[in-house]
Chains A and B, each alone.
Chain A
Amino acid sequence: MAFLTTTIGSFPKPPALHEARRRYAEGAIEAAALREVENEATLRALRFQEDLGLDLLVDGEMDRADPITTFAERLSGVEIAGWVRAYGDRYVRKPRIVGPVARAGASTVERFRYARGAASREVKAVLPGPYSLVDGSYDDHYPSRRAACTALAEIVREEVRDLAAAGATDIQIDEPAAGARPDEIAWMHELIERVGEPVRGRARLWVYLGYADLDALGEALAATPADGLLVAGAHCGYAGVERFARAVPANRFVGIGVVDTLRPSVESEGEIRDRIARVRDLVAPDRLWIVPDGGFRALRPDAARAKLSAMVRAAK
């Protein structure tokens, strides 16, 4: 049986793009020249996904250094505080909220339009969710995390509305921090409701829940109000994944991560098939999506290609 396949969002940036970003930061090239290199990298990411036969494509996030930072730094009321370590050798430029947040314009729509225009099948738009935006920032302005999240939810809601107006049929909200504080999951759900409300019935809303502890929080997170939920599974040997999959309402789509995107070693097709076998009977076949654990940003391009190829072969 063949299963539906998509990815979480990011692809490794090619060396030419790293070089262009460095030169842009030094003022050696204009924004338009950087954009050209980003477009070329986006096209390559799309062609690769099309050649593999993925069912739902992504633009590869070639214009984002980090999903939280890039989205946040385009808002007013936000500064970049500096570099902090996120995992292993990975660092992010962490934002700092210093005033009321506001959006000057759409942040992700231009890249989505470009990718959709260049792709032969549907492209999923991907953007960070309000809870993780606040979790991934220092907040020196709002009186509480909930107040900050509520303000960011309005920004994300506008972005979601603009993406749908631009033709997005699938919109993914990244909430990797969803399981960070169990007592806040209920109001995190309210944020997702608010964000998804403008596109309800017009586009599929996906929520990526990242590396949440599904053993402890599987049931609570399975109630996240979205058309589809995506979780990492490979990194933890599927601890709690079955419990989560059983708890997701039957009318939702479920995407289960089957390759670890933070380890360079490439899983074999057989290994991935075994992982798929653990969840295939828990979710209706037309509702189960096979995905990687996370974005491929941290991997070398050859490792990312090999992992994704093995994943698609195993799923098909």
Chain B
Amino acid sequence: MIRSATHSSYPRIGDGAWDQQLRRTARERDRGLATETELRAVEDEVASLVVAEQARAFVDLVTDGLVRWSGPFSHLPRGWDGVEQGGLARWFETGLYDRRPAVTGPVSRREAVVVRDARLALEVRPKALKAVLPGPVTLAHVARRDAGVDREELAGQFAAALAAEAAELAAAGVRVLQVDEPILCREPASAAAVARCVGPVFEAMGTGATTILSTYFGDLASPGIDLASLPGTHLGLDMVHGPGNWPLLTKLPEGRGVHLGLFDARTVRIESSDEVFERMVPYREILMERDVMVGPQCGLELIPRDYAFDKLLQARYLKERLEREWQWRS
């Protein structure tokens, strides 16, 4: 099966006056002219619009754009005890800053964080929603912790909190879950920890769920990474910033689907669906044996909204060409 898919985040504002509503309301809130409740209501509106905009690009698998997320490190820990918001750090080599989790004690989940968001998005796209969670190992890697706290043990605590979130997402009707572990491309030695920690998060989704282990900003070509040990029904690979992932397609475990990140979500150059198609041609037979999703290699909020939409359109055109020329059904 072939599907087009958004990766995770989507730009919250655009250049038009109406598209600036979220930014404007946040500024009004800062000046005491709007309440937190009013800002949250605007976020809900924007999230619905973002889901609808992806549908307008005819993307098969959409997200809620992570519109309400404070950031990739800090958002989920807001619902956890034992973690505070720490100092600023960059999200890998991007211009996006966020607060690191600062661990103050044993971590446990206090309340759901993204379940309500998923319910609202399901109302707009009931059969095509992908929920996204940060990876416990990546979170543990960026977290500030006391010298006595073991990183892997911390990742295990984060994983338990994320598994509880996943179980509630599944109960809310989510059938596709992506967990982001970009650290795996930087630190191949973390593969065992990823396998150990992310597995239970996916298991919490129950049988029949589509579970995507997403990696990006590099490749998984290190010999230290045993692809078969990585959890999930699908493996997310960055084919733009991880050229070493192309030959890996021949080594994927049997039956494993792939979420191919083919469009660069860190640049505003729009790759045409045709140029991306040509890159896929040598791997036609291998790919057609699998369940494949095509789209950007990471969240789209790193580029302006017009460009993000254009990249999704190209992903759709790519999927349509694959259907047409390879007789690949979606």
- The interface-forming segment of B114-122, B131-139, B247-255, B301-309 is B301-309
Question: Does A84 contact B11, Cβ atoms closer than 8 Å?
Answer: yes
Binding site for B on A (CB under 8 A): 15, 81-89, 91-92, 94, 96, 135-136, 138, 140, 177, 180-181, 211, 213, 232, 235-237, 239, 262, 264, 300
- CB neighbours of B168 from chain A (8 A): none
- CB neighbours of B30 from chain A (8 A): 89, 264, 300
Question: Does A211 contact B23, Cβ atoms closer than 8 Å?
Answer: no
Q: How far is the CA of A136 from the CA of B32 in the complex (A)?
A: 30
Residue from A83, A232, A236, A300 within 8 A of B14 (CB atoms)? A83
Max chain A C-beta neighbours (<10 A), residue from B30, B70, B97? B97
Q: How far is the CA of A85 from the CA of B86 in the complex (A)?
A: 20
A140/B268 contact (C-beta < 8 A), A81-B303, A83-B14, A237-B86 known: yes
Encoded as 1 (CB less than 8 Å from any A CB) or 0, chain B from 22 to 46 comes to: 1100110011100000000000000
Question: Does A213 contact B89, Cβ atoms closer than 8 Å?
Answer: yes
Besides the known contacts A82-B307, A89-B26, A136-B95, 20 further A-B residue pairs in the complex with CB atoms under 8 A apart: A15-B31, A82-B15, A82-B304, A82-B306, A83-B23, A84-B302, A86-B95, A87-B98, A88-B71, A89-B22, A89-B23, A89-B30, A92-B95, A211-B89, A232-B87, A236-B100, A236-B144, A237-B86, A239-B144, A262-B88
Residue from B12, B90, B102, B267 within 8 A of A237 (CB atoms)? B102
Question: Does B97 contact A84, Cβ atoms closer than 8 Å?
Answer: no
Question: Does B93 contact A181, Cβ atoms closer than 8 Å?
Answer: yes
Q: How far is the CA of A82 from the CA of B302 in the complex (A)?
A: 11
28 contacts between A and B (CB under 8 A): A15-B31, A81-B268, A83-B11, A83-B14, A83-B15, A83-B20, A83-B305, A85-B301, A87-B96, A87-B97, A89-B23, A91-B13, A140-B268, A140-B269, A180-B90, A211-B89, A211-B97, A232-B87, A232-B88, A236-B86, A236-B88, A237-B86, A237-B102, A237-B144, A239-B87, A239-B144, A300-B31, A300-B32
Q: How far is the CA of A86 from the CA of B87 in the complex (A)?
A: 15
- CB neighbours of A91 from chain B (8 A): 13, 23
The B interface, classified by DSSP as helix, strand, loop or mixed, is mixed
A86/B97 contact (C-beta < 8 A), A81-B307, A237-B87, A262-B88 known: yes
Q: How many residues of B contact A (CB 8 A)?
A: 38
* Closest Cβ–Cβ distance, residue A262 to chain B (whole Å): 7
Chain B, residue nearest A236 (CB):
B87
Chain A, residue nearest B31 (CB):
A300
A83/B304 contact (C-beta < 8 A), A135-B95, A237-B86, A300-B30 known: yes
- CB neighbours of A89 from chain B (8 A): 22-23, 26-27, 30
Q: How far is the CA of A41 from the CA of B98 in the complex (A)?
A: 30
* Closest Cβ–Cβ distance, residue A30 to chain B (whole Å): 22
* Closest Cβ–Cβ distance, residue A299 to chain B (whole Å): 8
Q: How far is the CA of A180 from the CA of B93 in the complex (A)?
A: 6
- CB neighbours of A300 from chain B (8 A): 30-32
Encoded as 1 (CB less than 8 Å from any A CB) or 0, chain B from 198 to 222 comes to: 0000000000000000000000000
* Closest Cβ–Cβ distance, residue B233 to chain A (whole Å): 31
Q: How far is the CA of A181 from the CA of B94 in the complex (A)?
A: 10
- CB neighbours of A262 from chain B (8 A): 88
Q: How far is the CA of A25 from the CA of B284 in the complex (A)?
A: 51
- CB neighbours of A211 from chain B (8 A): 87-90, 97
* Closest Cβ–Cβ distance, residue B302 to chain A (whole Å): 6
Question: Does B96 contact A86, Cβ atoms closer than 8 Å?
Answer: yes
- CB neighbours of B12 from chain A (8 A): 85
